[in-house]
Amino acid sequence: MDDEERLSKRRQRRVPAPLDEAGLKELALAYAARFATTRTKLLRYLARKLKERGWAGDAPADPQALADRLAALGYVDDAAFAAMKGRAMAARGLGRRRVEETLAAAGVAPQDRGEAPDEQAALAVALAFARRKRLGPFGATLPADPAVRQKQLAAMLRAGHSMAAARAVLAATSVEAAEALISE
């Protein structure tokens, strides 16, 4: 066997063995240990692995029972995931609507998503977003062009803020006036 053949053999992808009950449990535990996850995300992961590797167990695979077991043990907690993700997204200045969409995509049930923030908290998050993106009073200059103001409003809405919060923040004429919105 020459060098070229050895290199070709090394490059060939090794096909993993089909999963059995122990292998599926090991994959689920490793995934839950490595990532903050929801039950739905864990099920999607296990379904993908079953599709990639196949099943070699005696009885049919039951990823739902495995996900339920990990949830009962506390390794997977949808409510804790929602709280953590919501706080992280709010710290980045993303609004409640955007947080709700992300949590829905992750498979978090509506009752596990937590309560909507009050108006003052929503304004504080909108201010954080405007500050980070340098919108409205946080920019170098206040935009006089209506098209620029529309673009800024659209950015705030895409970030998940309500129309009222976005308009209030962008209508402020100074940083002090914008920050006074949350102290009222």
Tell me the pLDDT tens digit for each residue of 131-143: 999 999 998 888 8
pLDDT of residue 81: 95
Please name the residue ranges forming H helices in 54-145. 63-73, 78-91, 96-105, 119-133
pLDDT of residue 1: 60
φ, ψ dihedrals at 19, nearest 5°: -80, 150
2-32 pLDDT, tens digit each: 677 776 666 666 778 889 999 999 999 999 9
Contact assessment for residue 138 and residue 130, using Cβ atoms and an 8 Å cutoff:
yes
At 38, which amino acid appears? T
Helix (H) or strand (E) holding 105: helix 96-105
Q: CA 105 to CA 120: how far, in whole Å?
A: 27
pLDDT of residue 148: 92
53-89 pLDDT, tens digit each: 999 978 888 999 999 999 999 999 999 999 999 999 9
> CA geometry: angle at 104 spanning 101 and 108, to 5°?
140
Query: Residue 119: which residues within 8 A CB-CB, separation 6 or more?
Result: 165
pLDDT of residue 58: 83
Contact assessment for residue 19 and residue 54, using Cβ atoms and an 8 Å cutoff:
yes
Q: CA 161 to CA 179: how far, in whole Å?
A: 17
pLDDT of residue 9: 67
Length of the chain: 184
103-142 pLDDT, tens digit each: 999 999 999 988 877 888 899 999 999 999 999 999 888 8
Q: Which residue has the tokens 């969409």?
A: 101
**Residues forming a β-bridge with 55:** 19
- This prediction has a pTM of 0.79
